[in-house]
Amino acid sequence: MDLSSINKVFFIGIGGIGMSALANYFLQKNKQVYGYDREASTITKNLKNLGSKIIYNYYDFNVNEFKSDIDNTLVIYTPAVSKEHPLLKKFKQNEFNIFKRAEVLQKISENSKCIAIAGTHGKTTTSAILAHILKVADLKFSAFVGGIMVNYNSNFLYNGEDYIIVEADEFDRSFLMLNPNYACITSLDSDHLDIYEDSNSLIEAFEQFKNNIVGDGFLISHEDVKINSKKYGIIESSDYLAKNIINNKNFSQFDLCFNGGVVENLKIHIQGLHNVMNSVAAISIAIELGISDKKILEALISFKGIERRFSYIIDNETMVLIDDYAHHPEEIKQVYKTLKLIYPNDNLLVVFQPHLYSRTRDMLDEFAKELSKFDAVILLEIYAARENPIKGITSDVLLKKIQSKYKFLSKKSELSGLIKDISFKVNVTLGAGDIANEVEQIKNELEYAI
């Protein structure tokens, strides 16, 4: 795969957060970018504005338009796309150069120092904070981030290629294609059990990821991750130790102790202990790279967050609506803890869209436990994503296990009405599916009612 000779790049699933960052990279390199996705979104519209050509119906695709330049055309697909997808089959039948997203990221990073952020939760926030630090410090780097950074209204940053920041995705073992110089593991909770047989198999994959680190690089991981490396956290034995933590609605603040010294009053405008840990992870890597305390402090205070990561949609005296990407029991747990920290005396309502039948099946009791902590729960039907339905696994089955006083199974069109009827001040929408598309409508209808 010689990327310098590529003229055209076609993305199957171009609207995905990881794929779109890669599309932005090739646009930056003045390549012709094409793509397919199931439906238009803000991401695809932005890519079209930058010059991409995107189709939403694969019947509109004409492979002959690309066959004349087949040797210089690169086809990239996400592992979330079925191997039986008509476009993927069409490209295979015509013997195009076809690669997974992770393979292309590895190729891009070969001539740079690769910083790979892995973990079952926290990858995106850690990557985004680190990217912002490197930007403020004016290092020559590119960053592929799994969320839209509010500072840049983008999931991609380009400031050169001495360093490449990538999220190392454990799904489909894609992260094992990477050979990072520097790496971080933010967390290691059971997930993707449709791919991994059990938690031991998942841990083995992360051990292999560690073994892929090249040269004199380093790995740093959260203190709860049972893999040998430098550690960050809140226990005294951690190499990077957060102390004197303050958490409130407007910011998180902490001191960071390392190498016998301390950096005091680090402040960032994101909430929750889990985000303090994500900040510490990013800072520890920045320090290992030699970035000054002054630049780190400057970057943290100017970091504006990531879309759909505890994002305030409505915030006034009578109504709070927060939107978050949380789709795993541990992530729901952290959202709840942060809400109770900020709103200790308020009832809490959650709207949750389960993501994947397999994840719902494998963690049914864990989901029920964490959702039951909320005073009111509204469930949407399971978002299938890449999967077919699994018999006996539905949102209704999950609902029956939830112990909250108020619990409902809802259609999307009914959400605003239910939230208004329950009439709690503090409300949160959670999920990694298309629930994000409903938030603006919910906001408009709730604000109209106020």
For residue 375, pLDDT over 60 is answered with yes
* pLDDT at position 362: 92
User: In a 3-state reduction of DSSP, which class is residue 137?
Assistant: coil
What pLDDT score was predicted for residue 355? 95
By mean pLDDT, which of 169-183, 271-285, 371-385, 391-405 is the weakest? Answer: 169-183
**Chosen CATH of 3-100 out of 2.60.40.2890, 3.40.980.10, 3.40.50.300, 3.40.50.720:** 3.40.50.720
Question: What local confidence, expressed as pLDDT, does residue 84 receive?
Answer: 85
Using the predicted structure, report yes or no on whether residue 164 has a pLDDT greater than 60: yes
Q: Tell me how crowded residue 154 is: count the other CB atoms within 10 A of its CB.
A: 17
Average pLDDT over residues 125-143: 98
User: pLDDT tier at 60 (50, 70, 90 boundaries)?
Assistant: confident
What strands lie across the sheet with 53-55, from one edge to the other? 53-55, 32-36, 8-12, 73-77, 97-100
Helix count and strand count (H, E) for the chain: 15, 21
Checking if the pLDDT of 141 tops 80, the result is yes
* pLDDT tens digits, one per residue of 201-258: 888 999 999 999 998 899 999 999 999 999 999 999 999 999 999 999 899 999 999 9
Backbone angles phi, psi at 416, to 5 degrees: -60, -40
Q: Report the share of the chain in percent with pLDDT over 70.
A: 97
Over residues 95-119, the mean pLDDT reads 93
Kindly report, as residue ranges, where domains of CATH 3.90.190.20 are found in the chain: 311-449
- Residue 263, pLDDT > 60, answer yes
| Banded model confidence at residue 65, pLDDT cuts 50, 70, 90 | confident
CA atoms within 13 A on the CB side of 120: 20
Residue 265 main-chain phi, psi, to 5 deg: 55, 45
**How far is it, in rounded angstroms, from Cα 449 to Cα 438?**
17
Give all strands of the β-sheet with 426-430 in edge-to-edge order. Answer: 311-315, 320-324, 426-430, 348-352, 376-379, 406-409
pLDDT at res. 3: 85
Q: Which helix (DSSP H) or strand (DSSP E) does residue 54 occupy?
A: strand 53-55
Q: Note the pLDDT of residue 190.
A: 66
- pLDDT for 202 equals 86
What whole-number distance in Å separates Cα of residue 48 and Cα of residue 373?
A: 43
Q: What are the angstrom distances between the C-alpha of 14 and each of 41, 55, 78, 80, 131? A: 10, 10, 9, 12, 22
| Cα 248 to Cα 267: distance, rounded to the nearest angstrom | 11
The architecture (CATH level 2) of 311-449 comes to Alpha-Beta Complex (3.90)
Q: What is the mean pLDDT of residues 313-335?
A: 95
Q: Which CATH architecture has domain 111-302?
A: 3-Layer(aba) Sandwich (3.40)
Task: Answer yes or no: is pLDDT of 1 > 70.
Answer: no
Domain with CATH 3.40.50.720 in the chain: 3-100
Measured between alpha carbons, how far is 61 from 240 in angstroms, rounded to an integer? 52
- Residues near 64 by Cβ (< 8 Å), separated by ≥ 6? none
**CATH 3.40.1190.10-classified regions of the chain:** 111-302
Residue 450 pLDDT more than 60?
Answer: no
The answer to whether 220 touches 284, Cβ cutoff 8 Å, is: yes
Average pLDDT score, the chain? 93
pLDDT tops 90 at residue 64: no
Q: What is the pLDDT of residue 430?
A: 98
pLDDT in tens, 166-209: 999 887 788 888 999 999 999 987 665 566 666 788 889 999 99
Across the range 265-280, mean pLDDT stands at 95
pLDDT band at 55 (very low <50, low <70, confident <90, very high): very high
The pTM (predicted TM-score) of the whole model is: 0.92
Q: What whole-number distance in Å separates Cα of residue 129 and Cα of residue 157?
A: 12
Region 82-97: what's the mean pLDDT? Answer: 90
Compute how many other C-beta atoms are within 10 angstroms of the C-beta atom of residue 83.
9
Are residues 100 and 77 in contact, defined by beta-carbon separation less than 8 angstroms?
A: yes
Q: Please list the residues that pair with 185 across neighbouring strands.
A: 118, 221
**What pLDDT score was predicted for residue 169?**
84
The distance in angstroms from the start CA to the end CA of the chain is: 57
Distance between CA 29 and CA 301 in Å, rounded? 32
- The pLDDT value recorded for residue 200 is 82
* Averaged pLDDT, 427-450: 90
pLDDT bucket at 350, cuts 50 / 70 / 90: very high
pLDDT higher than 80, residue 283: yes
